[in-house]
């Protein structure tokens, strides 16, 4: 595509292209050349909209963080409406989609990118927000009396994020863990907090 052609929302177009590259080839294949080729734009387009490729990647990760923030609002609003285990299972399945998994892997290995996103080292981007999302939801359920009054929501959230990430990330690209396996993990993590509510 000639560089003079007007591009409608070029940033969104480049982000969508980057996600397709991640899905097809994984984080190691994500380069500025791969993104612009996938987006079918001239090579210089990306650098006209972002300071450098790490700036582009940081914005790509921030769009995923914004998605987690949106999911957090919906999840907290769902407190009290369904069984806790079912809500958490669904939330983890939505959280650990293939693009998010690829972005988390990328953030693990790119120190410069991680430093841009967390200049003071306040946790791993995306997973930190996911932990906060689950902790907030579990706090809402605790307030409703649906878990033990002393349930440690942050520790439960960390356990769910860690176990969920291992379940999803340890698989061949494009595959999902069996639903029953995810349900079992969630039930095991939450068993004590839910059962003690009944005592």
Q: What is the pLDDT of residues 87-118, one digit of tens each?
A: 999 999 999 999 999 999 999 889 889 989 98
H helix count then E strand count, the chain: 10, 0
**For residue 128, how far is the Cα from the chain centroid?**
9
Residues of the chain with pLDDT under 70: 1-8, 121, 198-199
The CATH label, of 1.10.10.60, 3.40.50.150, 3.40.1790.10, 1.10.3210.10, for the domain at 8-49 is: 1.10.10.60
Task: Answer yes or no: pTM beyond 0.75.
Answer: yes
pLDDT at 7: 47
What are the sequence ranges of the domains in the chain? 8-49, 62-198
Written out in words, the top-level CATH class of the domain with range 62-198 is: mainly alpha
Output the CA torsion sign for 184, 189, 190, 195: positive
* Per-residue pLDDT tens digits for 12-36: 999 999 999 999 998 999 999 999 9
What lies within 8 Å, CB to CB, of 104 at 6+ separation is 124, 126, 127, 165, 169
Place of tokens 């356990």: 159
| CA–CA separation, 179 and 92 (whole Å) | 11
Percent helix, strand, coil in the chain, to 5, is 70, 0, 30
pLDDT at 198: 65
As a dihedral over the C-alpha atoms of residue 87, residue 93, residue 94, residue 98, rounded to 10 degrees, the angle is: 170
Question: 45, 3 in Cβ contact below 8 A?
Answer: yes
Q: What are the tokens at 14?
A: 């480049």
Place of tokens 């050349």: 33
């Amino acid at each position: 595509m000639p560089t003079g052609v007007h591009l409608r929302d070029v940033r969104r177009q480049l982000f969508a292209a980057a996600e397709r590259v991640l899905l097809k080839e994984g984080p190691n294949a994500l380069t500025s050349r791969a993104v612009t080729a996938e987006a079918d734009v001239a090579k210089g387009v990306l650098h006209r909209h972002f300071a450098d490729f790490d700036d582009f990647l940081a914005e790509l990760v921030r769009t995923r963080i914004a998605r987690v923030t949106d999911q957090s609002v919906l999840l907290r609003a769902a407190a009290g409406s369904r069984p806790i285990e079912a809500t958490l299972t669904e939330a983890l399945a939505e959280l650990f989609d293939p693009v998010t998994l690829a972005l988390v892997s990328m953030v693990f290995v790119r120190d410069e990118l991680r430093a841009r996103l967390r200049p003071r080292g306040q946790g791993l981007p995306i997973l930190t927000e996911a932990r906060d999302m689950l902790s907030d939801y579990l706090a809402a359920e605790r307030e409703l009396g649906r878990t033990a009054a002393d349930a440690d929501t942050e520790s439960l959230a960390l356990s769910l994020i860690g176990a969920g990430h291992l379940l999803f990330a340890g698989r061949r690209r494009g595959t999902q863990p069996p639903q029953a396996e995810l349900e079992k993990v969630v039930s095991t993590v939450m068993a004590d907090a839910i059962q003690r509510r009944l005592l």
